[in-house]
Amino acid sequence: MKNLENVQGDKRDVVFISIGYDKDAHGYMAQSFGPISTDGGERRLNVLFTRARKRCRVFSSIRHSDIRLDATRHAGPRVLKSYLKYAETGEMDVPVLQDLGADSPFEEAVVLALTQRGYKVSGQVGTAGFRIDLAVHDPDDEGRFLLAVECDGARYHSSAWARERDRLRQSVLEDKGWVFHRIWSTDWFQNPEPETRKLIEAINRARHGIDERQTLKTLERAPVERKTPEEQQQPERLGYEEAKFYIEGTHNIKIHECTLESLGDIVAGIVKIEGPVHLEEVARRVSRLWGLARAGKRIQAAVKEAAIVAERRGLIQGSEPDSPFLEVPGAPVRVRDRSEVESATLRKIGMLPPTECRATILQAVERSIAISRAHCAIETARLLGYRSTSAALREFVISQVDNLLSDGRLIEKDSWLRLP
């Protein structure tokens, strides 16, 4: 029998390794492993593990889960933990504590809910080449993780590739023994208490060794109609409706020959359908109702005068002071998808109502709980139906973000945009 320091140079067909560290009478285990816990401890273990020509037999009074990596800064205990896990399970992968904390305000909220209930949580735990958002420690064995908690926000829902990547990633990690519980940011934001209860139930199932995947497979046999998580989180998209209605007698009279009152009624009808809408777009729609291909200067002038008359009559109003955008008084501002509009001009940045842009920004922030400026611009563009976020659109969205911050309708802390 030799101790760790004296095996250098030995070679045997079979090596018996005895690990004699153990817990005290009260169940406490000191995280000190003699020379292994010092600088170079991993090299000493490497020498030990390579002395056998054919195999090693390990006799140990502890399991790999008894070794806590958060209690040491040296590599030796991590190597010992990994080796013991391999001896027990055939798997060498050991989660690495990155000490990065939560990755977003959403994750911070989940961590707070768990710590208030007595659970220890580590953020951004590395395992099998991936990072797990949050890993919950076993209260009875801090060196072992009970549950992997995945926190998915708006960016996850907007990317099919991200969803497919995470499915493959989850499959790999489940094969390594992880039990997963996924929380959708919108569900947490809208109903934090029920979501917290579900999370605690998932921890308890994992704690008692109940494989959650088997439970789900049983439930899936029942003929229950259900939506995918993506479908549950995505609200119905409101498409932009362009005004189309019949005007009698358009073949007998030209637009600029109409009385201002009658033309004002037509303008008000268009604004009721499309407001807030730019005055130039109203003129284009009037021309189309007359069967014309474009709105010339004479038509634009007539529509502008008719809009003034309609505003005096209280039928319409400017969205903001000195604004070219018109709306019906008291009408709510809607977030509309422009991806399938017939009029290409509606997708021009100059035709995008600032009030609608701000409403979209608030919706994007609400759905994400907190979001950076860059991702806010991308999410806002997506909600409005833009397939890409140009520099001009990004600049316009950020200018409206600044307006919301000035008005106190948004706050910005540590580069994250949030609702007050």
Cis amide bond preceding 354, omega within 30: no
Q: 3-class DSSP state for residue 420?
A: coil
Looking at residue 261, its pLDDT comes to: 93
- Strand pairing class (121-127; 96-97): antiparallel
DSSP letter, residue 243 = P
- Nearest to residue 180, comparing CAs of 158, 211, 209? 211
- What are the helix and strand counts (H, E) for the chain? 15, 13
Residue given tokens 């990065």 in the structure block: 100
User: Taking phi first (over 0 means left), then psi (-120 to 50 degrees means alpha), and beta for anything else, what does residue 175 get?
Assistant: alpha
The token duo for 93 is 């992968």
Radius of gyration of the chain (CA): 32
Residue given tokens 């004699």 in the structure block: 20
pLDDT tens string 319-368: 998 899 999 999 999 999 999 999 999 999 999 999 999 999 999 998 87
Encoded amino acid at 283, one letter: A
Looking at residue 229, its pLDDT comes to: 44
Looking at residue 278, its pLDDT comes to: 97
Q: 3-class DSSP state for residue 373?
A: helix
Spatial CB neighbours of 406, under 8 Å, sequence gap ≥ 6: none
Q: 3-class DSSP state for residue 371?
A: strand
pLDDT tens string 32-44: 888 888 888 888 8
350/365 Cα distance (integer angstroms): 23
181/145 Cα distance (integer angstroms): 13
Looking at residue 143, its pLDDT comes to: 64
- Widest CA span of the chain, in angstroms? 112
Encoded amino acid at 80, one letter: L
pLDDT tens string 230-270: 444 445 578 999 999 888 776 678 888 899 999 999 999 99
pLDDT tens string 158-204: 444 444 456 666 766 766 677 888 888 888 888 888 899 999 988 88
The token duo for 189 is 């934001």
